[in-house]
């Protein structure tokens, strides 16, 4: 795969399709294409890939929230441009001029953003309002937790658009809802209300005030021991792919490592004293 450069540091905030804001150990990563309802673009995925790589290394970040700017989480692919024949539009000209090999290389690079999100050591929360469809749904499913507004709407959308699906859609959806429901949702796409998405397992929690609930949850998770969180996420990933003997062999050293940490000792002392553990520096 050809090396793809990350976005340049001189880029102005107004030009960025991804914004990162860190406050009180919680990083909010915002998909910033509101004029396109936060539709996924090549630039957006490259910037997401770089953002997640950077956040994975930051010890001051304990939680990562993924959100969409303004009304929607993300409508997925920018269908207006995919179907356009307007050669006056630079993105359309670029799209028409690429080969299948070019597309495979670009999509492989874009897919790394999803892998980096799944593998972040910090717990992750998708804050979902408005539309969450196609590739946007894939990004939401890559988060550990998905908190949605009751007015949010969901759709896999891929087959309806004449495509098979990308950004880990089938892998992520199968793990969220199970293989039977994943098949139904991917092969027979339809609009789901937030309540239906919750019933299916796509959404982990509905909240009338999404901002307040995400802030509350993010603050709570940021107060947990970061090593325990990261190792628990490793356990959860292994639980999906390993049989029990192999899983137990992976689980044992993680438990011992976390149990011998200062965080665990502090939590044990707090439990005995019937008080909350102090927030970790």
- Examine residue 138 and state whether it is found in any structural domain, yes or no: yes
**CA atoms of 11 and 5, how far apart (whole Å):** 13
For Cα atoms 211, 225, 198, give the angle at the middle one, nearest 5 degrees: 40
Question: Which domain, by its residues, includes 199?
Answer: 13-222
Assign residue 146 the CATH number of its domain: 3.90.226.10
* Residues 148 and 240 both lie in one domain: no
**CA atoms of 140 and 147, how far apart (whole Å):** 10
Q: 128 with 203: CB under 8 angstroms?
A: yes
Nearest to 16 by CA among 5, 31, 27, 3: 31
* Residues 242 and 214 both lie in one domain: no
Give the tokens for residue 111: 């897919």
Boundary-marking domain end, from 222, 243, 261: 222
Residues 6+ apart with CB under 8 A from 259: none
Give the tokens for residue 278: 């102090």
pTM of the entire predicted model: 0.87
pLDDT band at 208 (very low <50, low <70, confident <90, very high): very high
- Examine residue 279 and state whether it is found in any structural domain, yes or no: no
- Examine residue 6 and state whether it is found in any structural domain, yes or no: no
148 φψ region: left (φ > 0), alpha (ψ -120 to 50), beta (else): beta
Give the chain's domain count. Answer: 2
Give the tokens for residue 231: 């190792």
For Cα atoms 250, 254, 54, give the angle at the middle one, nearest 5 degrees: 105
**CA atoms of 74 and 140, how far apart (whole Å):** 9
Q: 174 with 206: CB under 8 angstroms?
A: no
In this prediction, residue 268 carries a pLDDT of 84
**CA atoms of 281 and 27, how far apart (whole Å):** 16
Residue 260, pLDDT > 60, answer yes
Q: What is the pLDDT of residues 147-159, one digit of tens each?
A: 999 999 999 999 9
Give the tokens for residue 47: 């910037």
Q: What is the pLDDT of residues 8-59, one digit of tens each?
A: 444 445 589 999 999 999 999 999 999 999 999 999 999 999 999 999 999 9
Residue 281, pLDDT > 60, answer no
- Examine residue 22 and state whether it is found in any structural domain, yes or no: yes
- Examine residue 73 and state whether it is found in any structural domain, yes or no: yes
In this prediction, residue 6 carries a pLDDT of 43
- In sign, the C-alpha dihedral spanning 188, 194, 199, 202 is positive
- Examine residue 179 and state whether it is found in any structural domain, yes or no: yes
Three-class secondary structure of residue 97 per DSSP = helix
Residues 6+ apart with CB under 8 A from 236: none
Q: What is the pLDDT of residues 74-117, one digit of tens each?
A: 999 875 544 344 444 455 445 556 788 999 999 999 999 999 99
Q: What percent of the chain stands above pLDDT 70?
A: 85
How is residue 159 annotated by DSSP? G
Residue 189, pLDDT > 90, answer yes
């Amino acid at each position: 795969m050809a090396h793809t450069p990350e976005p340049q540091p001189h880029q102005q905030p107004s030009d960025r399709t991804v914004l990162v804001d860190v406050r009180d150990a919680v990083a909010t990563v915002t998909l910033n294409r509101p004029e396109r309802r936060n539709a996924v673009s090549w630039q957006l995925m490259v910037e997401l890939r770089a953002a997640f790589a950077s956040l994975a290394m930051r010890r001051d970040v304990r939680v990562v929230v993924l959100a969409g700017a303004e009304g929607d989480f993300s409508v997925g692919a920018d269908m207006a441009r995919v179907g356009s024949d307007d050669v006056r539009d630079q993105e359309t000209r670029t799209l028409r001029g690429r080969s299948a090999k070019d597309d495979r290389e670009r999509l492989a690079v874009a897919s790394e953003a999803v892998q980096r999100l799944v593998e972040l050591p910090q717990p992750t929360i998708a804050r979902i309002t408005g539309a969450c469809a196609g590739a946007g749904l894939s990004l939401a499913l890559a988060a550990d937790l998905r908190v949605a507004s009751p007015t949010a709407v969901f759709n896999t959308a891929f087959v309806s658009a004449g495509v098979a699906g990308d950004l880990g859609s089938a892998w992520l959806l199968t793990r969220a809802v199970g293989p039977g429901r994943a098949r139904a949702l991917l092969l027979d796409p339809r609009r789901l209300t937030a309540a239906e998405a919750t019933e299916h397992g796509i959404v982990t929690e509905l909240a009338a005030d999404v901002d307040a609930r995400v802030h509350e949850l993010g603050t709570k998770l940021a107060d947990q021991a970061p090593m325990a969180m990261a190792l628990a996420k490793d356990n959860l990933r292994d639980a999906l792919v390993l049989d029990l003997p192999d899983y137990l062999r992976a689980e044992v050293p993680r438990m011992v490592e976390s149990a011998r940490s200062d965080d665990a000792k502090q939590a044990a002392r707090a439990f005995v004293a019937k008080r909350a553990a102090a927030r970790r520096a």
